[in-house]
């Protein structure tokens, strides 16, 4: 258990997974945030398989909606995301993952995918 009384922790068991809501495609959005700086790096999607693998391996894996494929972040670029903590929101339909990001999170080689601003 966390020492912070505001934080509840769960184990990923069958019962606990029922707290998470995957959408009609079996996916849940995941916000990846730099665990040190707090910079939001990217948003991607996981299915149950990639979430289990992420927890098991300590490296983020996702589901690519465009390629319809399981995807280990950094597999081709070396830009792995080592997972520190995963939180889920009040509705259980979004994850926030604190990561130790190797290199760039974005495929454009920017640190964060959010490098363009609306004004």
Does 25 bind a second copy (CB under 8 A)? Our answer is no
The interface with a second copy within residues 5-24 (CB under 8 A) comprises 6-12, 16, 19
Among residues 70 and 114, whose Cβ is nearest to a second copy?
Answer: 114
Give whole-number Cα distances, 68 to 25, 34, 49, 72, 119, in Å.
11, 26, 13, 13, 33
C-alpha 63/C-alpha 71 separation (Å) is 6
- CA–CA gap between residue 86 and residue 96 (Å, rounded): 6
Judged by DSSP in three states, 69 sits in strand
Q: Is 39 in the site for a second copy (CB under 8 A)?
A: yes
Does the footprint of a second copy cover residue 86 (CB under 8 A)?
yes
Question: Which residues of the chain form contacts with a second copy (CB under 8 A)?
Answer: 2, 6-12, 16, 19, 29, 31, 33, 37-40, 42-43, 55, 85-91, 94-96, 106-108, 110, 113-119
């Amino acid at each position: 258990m966390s020492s912070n009384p505001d934080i509840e922790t769960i184990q990923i068991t069958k019962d606990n997974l029922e707290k998470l809501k995957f959408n009609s495609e079996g996916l849940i959005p995941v916000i990846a945030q730099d665990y040190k700086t707090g910079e939001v790096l990217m948003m991607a999607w996981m299915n149950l398989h990639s979430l289990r693998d992420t927890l098991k391996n300590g490296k983020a894996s996702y589901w690519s909606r465009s390629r319809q494929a399981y995807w280990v972040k950094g597999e081709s670029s070396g830009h792995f995301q080592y997972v520190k903590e995963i939180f889920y929101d009040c509705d259980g339909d979004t994850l926030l993952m604190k990561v130790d990001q190797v290199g760039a999170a974005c495929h454009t080689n920017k640190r964060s995918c959010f490098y363009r601003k609306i004004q």
